[in-house]
Structure 1
């Protein structure tokens, strides 16, 4: 039975899904329990010569995919979270210091993310004023970062964004719209400054 079939089975039985989720995830810390984290080398895919520094917070439960490509690095104090969607990172890619990646996110090959970057496909629902925000759940829109991309320090890439190949995101930019290939974007919200 593959992962998709298992997910479908649990969707049809919410009580079992909630029970399994309770076993895997610490409900207060909203991260996998310690005994699940110990088993992570068994279910995470790490490419040859890839490096995940010991201080990285890997919130990667086994019911979603995490894949790190060959010769890729996740630097110190980053946080990788695939609890609501897969996180796929290509070859020769560097996830910088203090980055936060919340899936579903796909990052291509030869991508350099500088320091303090947030890439999130998750948003909290808040439309109903009669219900507390923390009770309304979350929504996700996949983020896709192409190949040969540099993202400057402290940039934010929001849900649903696609960044085209060979693009540069300037430091501090907040990306709210798709970025065409071969573009330099900057600002809040980020706008195309020039083609490269």
Structure 2
């Protein structure tokens, strides 16, 4: 902890450490981090699978974990550079998903194809400098247990998807979705809610 504090407090050391971990002008870590550091820091549950064509841009200063029997399918990209990425047990991240932390995905969740979860926003207030030089802000995305996220859904920073909820394909989610509901649209709105008394999914007026 003392070493980390010294590096953070010294701008030259911080730049050197950053350069040694990340490829310049890219978001991906150097191979020595990928092969010799990350496997000892980040957690992989028993029976978990990260497909060979997944782009795993994870760094050692934030958390990445994949739960038991969970899968990240091909052509997906996972980045924890500005926030932790936590994926629970028996969860499947579908083909060509993009997950940028901070993101916390629960157990038994299904993400279909081309889903985007980004807990990051670029700052843009200053007009005298490029947006990419103005830093970022983050708000965690939370996907609770047993949820199903349809194809081509975009979920914005700070959103929570409640337990056992469904987000229909091509939705853009800008606000929290309550548990046991079905939401759709751009922006996504709740269309149905499960009634535990009647044991049916009921349309909302």
What interval of TM-score do these two structures reach, taking the shorter chain for normalisation? over 0.9
When the two chains are superposed, the root-mean-square deviation of aligned CA atoms in Å is 1.4
Q: Distance in 2 between matches of 1:6 and 1:105?
A: 28
Q: Distance in 2 between matches of 1:63 and 1:23?
A: 13
Q: Distance in 2 between matches of 1:6 and 1:120?
A: 31
Q: Distance in 1 between matches of 2:63 and 2:164?
A: 26
Moved more, 48-57 or 22-31: 22-31
Q: Distance in 1 between matches of 2:188 and 2:9?
A: 41
Residue 132 of structure 1 deviates from its aligned partner by 1.2
For 2:77, the equivalent position in structure 1 comes to: 79
For 1:35, the equivalent position in structure 2 comes to: 32
Residue 6 of structure 1 deviates from its aligned partner by 6.0
Q: 1:12 aligns with which of 1, 9, 14?
A: 9
Residue 11 of structure 1 deviates from its aligned partner by 3.3
State the Cα deviation string for residues 90-139 of structure 1 (Å, max 9, x = none).
00100000000000110000000000000000111111112111111111
Partner-residue secondary structure (3-state), 1:159: coil
For 2:200, the equivalent position in structure 1 comes to: none
After superposition, the Cα gap between the structure-2 partners of 1:129 and 1:165, relative to the gap in structure 1 and judged at 3 Å, is: same
For 1:138, the equivalent position in structure 2 comes to: 136
Moved more, 115-124 or 20-29: 20-29
State the Cα deviation string for residues 46-80 of structure 1 (Å, max 9, x = none).
00000000110000011111100001000011101
For 2:92, the equivalent position in structure 1 comes to: 94
For 1:66, the equivalent position in structure 2 comes to: 64
Q: Distance in 2 between matches of 1:10 and 1:127?
A: 29
Q: Distance in 2 between matches of 1:180 and 1:6?
A: 43
State the Cα deviation string for residues 4-60 of structure 1 (Å, max 9, x = none).
x76555433333222111110012222101221122322221000000001100000
For 1:25, the equivalent position in structure 2 comes to: 22
Moved more, 49-58 or 125-134: 125-134
- TM-score, length-scaled by structure 1: 0.94
Q: Distance in 1 between matches of 2:24 and 2:121?
A: 19
- Pairs within 5 Å for 1:119-138: 119-138=117-136
Moved more, 21-30 or 70-79: 21-30
Q: Distance in 2 between matches of 1:80 and 1:7?
A: 25
Quick check: which has more Rg, 1 or 2? 2
Q: Distance in 2 between matches of 1:65 and 1:135?
A: 25
